Chains A and B, each alone.
Chain A
């Protein structure tokens, strides 16, 4: 039996072995509650403080208190959008987001329309890059918050965040950046890039599930989504998930340390994959050919459907993702693929491969071969 090849790191990452080693130092977790002042409590407090410093360092801020820990990227995105929009509503009641944001940004942005906010979705070009002129027109003087992801999970395109920041700040509003897919893969510097709020996922850094973080620039006001005991500056009440937070901190430290080398290694594999797969008949790269995440290769194939591709690849021992409607909860075509201008039939035939630590260059021929076999098999059945 051939080894499995896992190519869906954007969906879930295995815990980094270094993080696992770190976590094993605390087989019983942390005994104390960080809100207490006896020794066990102080130990827990210190573990959270260390994690905060490590996450802060990864995103280029010297103010650890600007990081709050959450249950994951979805919660961070909710606090950023709802919390900042509601707290600063006097500034204005317009929210702007790119059309290709993750659903955990789009849904809170849509939801606060019920509270009288207006939402503008800013378009992207055929590579998925935000249209800066259209963004400049969309961000009006009353735009309280603009949310643009650092990079897209389905097509891998990296956004020109510094240019986006200049446009947003010219009108005086806030910029939120969902860096779930970019953090640990490309350098992020909230100071240099002019970011007011930044979302991070613990798992996407190689840490455990169920933990994330939100950077909030000092001075930026945000109101809580949950109310309770006042932990995490009142923005994320509830006793801290100390064990997961500590492990996320270690993941952030390792990600920062290994990013340059690992990203270079993965980009070389990615480029070989792209060259091999786009050599298949009627196979096309989706997303930007150069400005893309180092671990991300995404494609579409004419006349065949993505879930079938995913299933057939699984049978060949390879786990890939698809933006196919058939695999989504809503059974709707991917909003990202429609936003880059694909027709519905084209959007159905997508396949996404996201690489991780365990992948190697040696796997490329088997992956390309499996894709070729799958495409051939499904094209033999298609009426299109």
Chain B
């Protein structure tokens, strides 16, 4: 990116009109990452049917890239199998958003981690049943 601080058009679109915001009551899987000290907290809720992510929602406290990556990762994971969704990396999310400023790549790019945590949670629950 030419501009080291500013966000891409794509990031701003997702920031201003984030997709898949909200909560799923009784989710099949739930993942939460981040903490108040670093300034980003994300939670992702998933509904799974036949190993496919049928519905996905998120809520995020954080900066522009935290919100945009949450929106993007939920778009990317929707309709994918759990195996496919687990392969989505932080870099994939950043690429889909047409890049993130370098300093945001680590601190505010936790959305893929939240997705993976939600899938892990789903699998843990399956084992117990």
Stretch at the interface among A157-165, A254-262, A281-289, A343-351: A343-351
3 pairs of A and B residues whose beta carbons are closest in the complex: A345-B36, A326-B63, A307-B63
Instruction: Among B12, B60, B103, point to the contact of A331 (Cβ < 8 A).
Output: B103
Q: For B63, list chain A residues within 8 Å (CB).
A: 305-308, 311, 324, 326-327
Report the minimal beta-carbon distance from A10 to chain B, rounded to whole angstroms. Answer: 18
Stretch at the interface among A72-80, A101-109, A178-186, A375-383: A375-383
State in angstroms the CA–CA spacing of A381 and B64 once bound together.
12
The answer to whether A305 touches B39 (Cβ under 8 A) is yes
The answer to whether A304 touches B103 (Cβ under 8 A) is no
Report the minimal beta-carbon distance from A212 to chain B, rounded to whole angstroms. Answer: 24
Q: Does B74 make an interface contact (CB < 8 A)?
A: no
Q: Please tell me the number of chain A residues within 8 Å of chain B, measured between CB atoms.
A: 25
Q: Does B18 make an interface contact (CB < 8 A)?
A: yes
The answer to whether B12 touches A311 (Cβ under 8 A) is yes
Q: Does B88 make an interface contact (CB < 8 A)?
A: no
Q: Does B16 make an interface contact (CB < 8 A)?
A: yes
The answer to whether A382 touches B60 (Cβ under 8 A) is yes
Q: Does B37 make an interface contact (CB < 8 A)?
A: yes
The answer to whether A333 touches B39 (Cβ under 8 A) is yes
| CB neighbors of A among B1-57 (8 A) | 7, 12, 15-16, 18, 21, 32, 36-43
Minimum CB distance partner of B64 in chain A: A311
Q: Does B67 make an interface contact (CB < 8 A)?
A: yes
Instruction: Among B37, B61, B107, point to the contact of A382 (Cβ < 8 A).
Output: B61
Give chain B's interface residues, CB within 8 Å of chain A.
7, 12, 15-16, 18, 21, 32, 36-43, 59-64, 66-67, 103-104, 107-108
Known: A311-B12, A315-B12, A380-B21. A325 touches B61 (CB 8 A): no
Report the minimal beta-carbon distance from B25 to chain A, rounded to whole angstroms. Answer: 15
Instruction: Among B15, B16, B36, B66, point to the contact of A343 (Cβ < 8 A).
Output: B36
Q: For A383, list chain B residues within 8 Å (CB).
A: 32, 41-43, 59-61
Q: For B7, list chain A residues within 8 Å (CB).
A: 311
Q: Does A269 make an interface contact (CB < 8 A)?
A: no
17 A-B residue contacts at CB 8 Å? A305-B63, A306-B63, A308-B64, A308-B66, A311-B7, A312-B16, A315-B12, A326-B39, A326-B62, A326-B66, A331-B103, A331-B107, A381-B18, A381-B61, A382-B61, A383-B32, A383-B41
Q: For A329, list chain B residues within 8 Å (CB).
A: 103
Minimum CB distance partner of B71 in chain A: A381
Q: For B62, list chain A residues within 8 Å (CB).
A: 305, 308, 326
Q: Does A384 make an interface contact (CB < 8 A)?
A: yes
